[in-house]
Amino acid sequence: MLETLKLTKRFNGHVAVNDLNLLIKPGEVFALLGPNGAGKTTTINLLLGFLTPDAGEARVNGASVATDPIAARRQIAYIPEQVMLYPRFTGVENLDYFSTLGGRRHTREELLALLKRAGLPAEAADRRVGTYSKGMRQKVGIALALATEAKALLLDEPTSGLDPAASHEFSLLLRKLAGQGVAVLMATHDLFRAREDATRIGILLDGKLAGDYATNDIKHVDLEKLYLKHLRA
Amino acid sequence: MTSHLFKLELRLLARERVAWVMLVLFAAALGYGLWNGGRLAGQQREIAVAISKDKESFHAQLREYLGRQSLDPKAVAGQGTMAVLPPAPLPLLATGQSDLSPGHESVVLWKLAAPADTRSELENPSHLLAGRFDFAFVLVWLFPLFLLAMVYDLMAGDRESGTLRLALAQGVAPMQWLLRRALARALPILALAALATLVAGMFGSPGGTTLRLTLALAVVLAYGLFWVALAVAVNVVARSAASAATSLGAAWVLLVLVAPTLLNVSVETLYPTPSRPELVAAGRKASGEAEKRGGDLLNSFYRDHPELAPPGQQADFAAQHLTVQGEVGRAVEPVRQKFDAQLAQQQTAVGRWRFVSPAIAAHEALTDLAGTGYWRYRAFREQVNAFKQTVADFYTPKIHRREPLTMADYERLPRFSFREEPAGDWLERAAVGLAGMLVLTGALGLWAWRRLRPSRLEPLSN
């Protein structure tokens, strides 16, 4: 479960996240839409404890990010827009390294199976990451999310730059994870993916949640129009 | 978990070609430093052995002569005797003062007032000026550079590339992650330095030096850990690998090049030593004046010591020379004492201020433990000066009384034997140096730890 309570963050007087209240339950996929600078990435950074809030609190599965940061982070899997890995390590070595950092040790067979589940071709697993495409690195990131067995998943523009097939594979995995009870927060500009994957859609403007819709309730609404309506309001 | 991550960090390091180049270069520098130190130690050992053989041969001949007949003490005293500093306990570890200060001195009754510090063997003056490329040079000057080449980019590069965000997002404690990486990356260089220190201790050492070697090993590792801690601290604040490298390079210049020079200049300014020419000139002046008054001095000496006056008080040349020499010695003594006192004050000041740079502390500790430092050479000089007095006390009365040297005197002939400094003295100095370096390392580590608390990731992650 991901939770923010009156979460506020200012940068040099500019309010990036303003009194934000969010509750993402296990199994929910919450797509956070908003223009550049709306505060989407800042919200994710606050949930990861990478930023210290000026007010309010962020919690992951009940653990306060401010007071129990390690416990909070250990329940999170995070996939940034660009999954940056060690280019001198192979895919399997990168997965081994980062998952062990998170306190989970896997055998080589388990790591290979995780990479396979994430959609990475078997022949690529033992190749150095320096030769990987962005999509392949993203898949290592997904494998890492699977390896950590996290209760919450934070995604920052996860499908940006992925080809449609890779994007589709990613969606399938995301739904599978949600089906296993993972709470997902996905910051994105991709309205199509948001409608396809999310169970709830939030529109963030100037750090405030301007709209919060259950995807089922807006099934017949043009999401682009709704989004633009909020922007122009 | 920790050991597995440690192995992965080592594997990551092993994939960097530059790491292998650094290891090979460092090994070569250590090897050359050891070989160079070993060559000098070998030369000095050969000199000591040759002198010892000469002394044995001289004493055997003397014993044989005295067995047959008595001898003129002037003739035996004129042969002189060699005061030799035994080979240093760990000579390969540091050349120290051994290429500047003489490790032996010929003590001749007629030249007791002459300045002692003159070398008999030839040495290239440029070598003396620049210092030797010895093991201590490699450890104090180059070891930090090789170490920094391995650890300059502990976290700054990850911060730049974005891998740091992914690593921190896994819920690892940042300081734990940083320390593990720092130790893994420093391990090959630290291990090589430790191994070379053991080699330095095992070869060319006369034995019984386990405690010195253990402390030397601790000093080398503490010095290395200081630089690792500095790299950790710099990486906490550096925003890129390039800025971390620049900062650490500047720190090396400051701590290894600038600070020792500044300290040297400061102690020279605060406690200036009388120049050696001044010492020599004082001796010559006193000698000239005393020779002019030689007859008067001898008469005055016999007036003070009538028991030594020969029958009829006929002064001969030798007696007059000894009296003149005594006068010269007394005239030169204040200058010599001032020289030694200023040197001691300089060294005390260096000891007090050595922690302005761990490079100074490490060098002082290593030369001290090697037995080539200031204090052992000072002890040698002091013991030689005392021995000169023993020689004078033994021969002078006989020459004045014109007593022959007999077999009964043989066992009482002055013989120099160097008494090593009590272990507690060098142990204390080295332990204080070691403790100082550990305190500096701990302070850097504590600062980094405070900056890297898991709840304060903001400075790291943007």
User: How far away is chain B from the Cα of A103, in angstroms, using its nearest Cα?
Assistant: 7
Q: What is the pLDDT of residues B63-82, one digit of tens each?
A: 888 888 888 888 888 888 88
pLDDT number for residue B119: 45
Point out the residue among B15, B162, B172 whose CB comes nearest to the CB of A82: B162
How far from B158 is each of B261, B312, B445, B455, CA to CA, in Å?
36, 95, 20, 19
Output phi, psi for A3, to 5 deg.
-145, 135
Asked whether residue B383 carries a pLDDT value surpassing 90, the answer given is: yes
Percent of chain A clearing pLDDT 70 (strictly above): 100
Asked whether residue B17 carries a pLDDT value surpassing 90, the answer given is: yes
B106 three-state secondary structure: strand
Give the separation between CA B417 and CA A184, rounded to whole angstroms: 83
Cβ contact, residue pair B162, A80, below 8 Å: yes
Q: Which of residues 14-43 of B touch A (CB under 8 A)?
A: 15-16
B123, B95 contact by CB (below 8 A): no
Query: One-letter amino acid identity for B357?
Result: S
Measured between beta carbons, which residues in chain B are less than 8 angstroms from residue A52?
A: 455-456, 458
Mean pLDDT of B107-133: 61
Cβ contact, residue pair B171, A93, below 8 Å: no
Q: Is A123 in the same domain as A68?
A: no
A182, A174 contact by CB (below 8 A): no
Asked whether residue A115 carries a pLDDT value surpassing 90, the answer given is: yes
Cβ contact, residue pair A70, B177, below 8 Å: no
| Residue in chain B lying closest to A70 (CA) | B171
Q: Is A66 in the same domain as A156?
A: yes
Confidence of residue B153 (pLDDT cuts 50, 70, 90): very high
Q: Which residues pair with A214 in a beta bridge?
A: A200
The residue to which tokens 């199994």 are assigned: A27
Domain boundary among A105, A128, A149: A149
Domain membership of residue B457 (yes or no) is no
Mean pLDDT of B244-256: 95
For chain B, how long is the longest CA-to-CA vector? 103
Interchain contact B239–A (C-beta under 8 A): no
The whole-chain average pLDDT of chain B stands at 84
Domain membership of residue A60 (yes or no) is yes
Return the axis-axis angle of helices B317-353 and B276-292, rounded to nearest 10°: 160
Domain membership of residue B339 (yes or no) is no
Confidence of residue B284 (pLDDT cuts 50, 70, 90): confident
Q: What is the pLDDT of residues B390-410, one digit of tens each?
A: 988 888 888 888 888 888 888
Domain count, chain B: 1
Beta strands at A183-187 and A29-33: parallel, antiparallel or unpaired: parallel
Domain membership of residue B252 (yes or no) is yes
Interchain contact A93–B (C-beta under 8 A): yes
Q: Is A168 in the same domain as A219?
A: yes
Point out the residue among A67, A78, A82 whose CB comes nearest to the CB of B169: A78
Q: Which residues pair with A14 in a beta bridge?
A: A11
Interchain contact B11–A (C-beta under 8 A): yes
| Residue in chain A lying closest to B3 (CA) | A100
Point out the residue among A74, A84, A141 whose CB comes nearest to the CB of B171: A74
Interchain contact B459–A (C-beta under 8 A): no
Domain membership of residue B323 (yes or no) is no
Asked whether residue A171 carries a pLDDT value surpassing 90, the answer given is: no
**Environment class of residue B275 by beta-carbon count within 10 Å: exposed (0-12), middle (13-18) or buried (19+)?**
exposed
Q: What is the pLDDT of residues A80-113, one digit of tens each?
A: 888 999 999 999 999 999 999 988 899 999 999 9
User: How far away is chain A from the Cα of B99, in angstroms, using its nearest Cα?
Assistant: 48
CB atoms closer than 10 angstroms to residue A211: 16
Point out the residue among B4, B16, B456 whose CB comes nearest to the CB of A100: B4
Interchain contact A4–B (C-beta under 8 A): no
Interchain contact B166–A (C-beta under 8 A): yes
Q: What is the CATH number of the domain that holds A185?
A: 3.40.50.300
Mean pLDDT of A135-157: 90
Segment holding B81, helix H or strand E: strand B81-84
Q: Is A155 in the same domain as A54?
A: yes
Domain membership of residue B334 (yes or no) is no
User: How far away is chain A from the Cα of B220, in angstroms, using its nearest Cα?
Assistant: 31
User: How far away is chain B from the Cα of A177, in angstroms, using its nearest Cα?
Assistant: 18
Residue B46 or B24, more confident: B24
Interchain contact A49–B (C-beta under 8 A): yes
Mean pLDDT of B20-47: 92
Asked whether residue B369 carries a pLDDT value surpassing 90, the answer given is: yes
Domain boundary among A112, A134, A149: A149
Measured between beta carbons, which residues in chain B are less than 8 angstroms from residue A48?
A: 168-169, 461
Confidence of residue B121 (pLDDT cuts 50, 70, 90): very low
Q: Is A183 in the same domain as A228?
A: yes
Please give the angle made by the CA atoms of A200, A202 and A204, to the nearest 5 degrees.
Answer: 170
Give the separation between CA B288 and CA B291, rounded to whole angstroms: 5
Asked whether residue B123 carries a pLDDT value surpassing 70, the answer given is: no
Asked whether residue B128 carries a pLDDT value surpassing 70, the answer given is: no
pLDDT number for residue B234: 95
Interface test with B, best of A78, A86, A105, A131 (most B CBs within 10 A): A86
Q: What is the ipTM of this complex?
A: 0.91
Domain count, chain A: 2
pLDDT number for residue B336: 75
Cβ contact, residue pair B462, A97, below 8 Å: no
Segment holding B268, helix H or strand E: helix B259-270
User: How far away is chain A from the Cα of B179, in angstroms, using its nearest Cα?
Assistant: 13
Domain membership of residue A91 (yes or no) is yes
The residue to which tokens 């095992």 are assigned: B202
Cβ contact, residue pair A148, B172, below 8 Å: no
Could you tell me where the DSSP H helices lie in B293-422? 294-304, 317-353, 358-370, 374-401, 407-410
Three-state SS across chain A?
Answer: CEEEEEEEEEECCEEEEEEEEEEECCCCEEEEECCCCCCHHHHHHHHHCCCCCCEEEEEECCEECCCCHHHHHCCEEEECCCCCCCCCCEHHHHHHHHHHHCCCCCCHHHHHHHHHHCCCCHHHHCCEHHHCCHHHHHHHHHHHHHHHCCCEEEEECCCCCCCHHHHHHHHHHHHHHHHCCCEEEEECCCHHHHHHHCCEEEEEECCEEEEEEEHHHHCCCCHHHHHHHHHHC
pLDDT number for residue B41: 85
Q: Is A62 in the same domain as A10?
A: yes
Cβ contact, residue pair A102, B12, below 8 Å: no
Domain boundary among A98, A128, A149: A149
Measured between beta carbons, which residues in chain A are less than 8 angstroms from residue B165?
A: 50, 78, 80, 84
Give the separation between CA A223 and CA B6, rounded to whole angstroms: 49
Give the separation between CA A95 and CA A125, rounded to whole angstroms: 10
Q: Is A105 in the same domain as A121?
A: yes
A65, A76 contact by CB (below 8 A): no
Give the separation between CA B180 and CA B312, rounded to whole angstroms: 88
Interface test with A, best of B10, B160, B170, B457 (most A CBs within 10 A): B170
Mean pLDDT of A149-165: 85
Asked whether residue B120 carries a pLDDT value surpassing 50, the answer given is: no
Cβ contact, residue pair A86, B12, below 8 Å: yes
Give the separation between CA A64 and CA A49, rounded to whole angstroms: 9
Q: What is the sign, positive or negative, of the torsion defined by CA atoms of A3, A6, A11, A16?
A: positive
Point out the residue among A74, A82, A96 whose CB comes nearest to the CB of B8: A96
pLDDT number for residue B311: 62
Confidence of residue B309 (pLDDT cuts 50, 70, 90): low
Output phi, psi for B239, to 5 deg.
-95, -10
Mean pLDDT of B89-101: 82
Give the separation between CA A17 and CA A39, rounded to whole angstroms: 6
pLDDT number for residue A87: 95
Segment holding B107, helix H or strand E: strand B104-107
Residue B325 or B427, more confident: B427
* Domain range enclosing A103: 87-149
Cβ contact, residue pair A100, B162, below 8 Å: no
Q: Is A105 in the same domain as A67?
A: no
Listed residue (B167, B156, B185) closest to B7, CA to CA: B185
Confidence of residue B297 (pLDDT cuts 50, 70, 90): low
B239, B462 contact by CB (below 8 A): no
User: How far away is chain A from the Cα of B29, in angstroms, using its nearest Cα?
Assistant: 29
Cβ contact, residue pair A84, B165, below 8 Å: yes
Please give the full DSSP string across B216-249, using - where no structure is assigned. HHHHHHHHHHHHHHHHHHHHHH-SSHHHHHHHHH
Q: Is A131 in the same domain as A191?
A: no
Asked whether residue B98 carries a pLDDT value surpassing 70, the answer given is: yes
Q: Is A160 in the same domain as A198?
A: yes
User: How far away is chain A from the Cα of B35, in angstroms, using its nearest Cα?
Assistant: 37
Mean pLDDT of B328-357: 80
Q: What is the pLDDT of residues B186-212, one digit of tens each?
A: 999 999 999 999 999 887 677 778 899
Domain membership of residue A80 (yes or no) is no
Tokens of A78: 């995070």
Interchain contact A180–B (C-beta under 8 A): no
Q: Is A125 in the same domain as A97?
A: yes
pLDDT number for residue B114: 65
Listed residue (B241, B205, B237) closest to B90, CA to CA: B205
Give the separation between CA B149 and CA B186, rounded to whole angstroms: 9
Give the separation between CA B181 and CA B6, rounded to whole angstroms: 7
Measured between beta carbons, which residues in chain A are less than 8 angstroms from residue B6?
A: none
B405 three-state secondary structure: strand
Tokens of A112: 């290979």
Question: Among the listed ranges A161-165, A226-230, B456-460, which one has the minimum average pLDDT value?
Answer: B456-460
Domain membership of residue B302 (yes or no) is no
Domain membership of residue B287 (yes or no) is no
Confidence of residue A31 (pLDDT cuts 50, 70, 90): very high
* Domain range enclosing B373: 2-257+359-451
Asked whether residue B294 carries a pLDDT value surpassing 70, the answer given is: no
Domain membership of residue B296 (yes or no) is no
Measured between beta carbons, which residues in chain B are less than 8 angstroms from residue A134?
A: none
Confidence of residue B181 (pLDDT cuts 50, 70, 90): very high
User: How far away is chain B from the Cα of A199, in angstroms, using its nearest Cα?
Assistant: 25
Point out the residue among A49, A84, A148 whose CB comes nearest to the CB of B161: A84
Segment holding B83, helix H or strand E: strand B81-84
pLDDT number for residue B433: 92
User: How far away is chain B from the Cα of A145, in angstroms, using its nearest Cα?
Assistant: 10
User: How far away is chain A from the Cα of B211, in angstroms, using its nearest Cα?
Assistant: 40
For chain A, how long is the longest CA-to-CA vector? 53
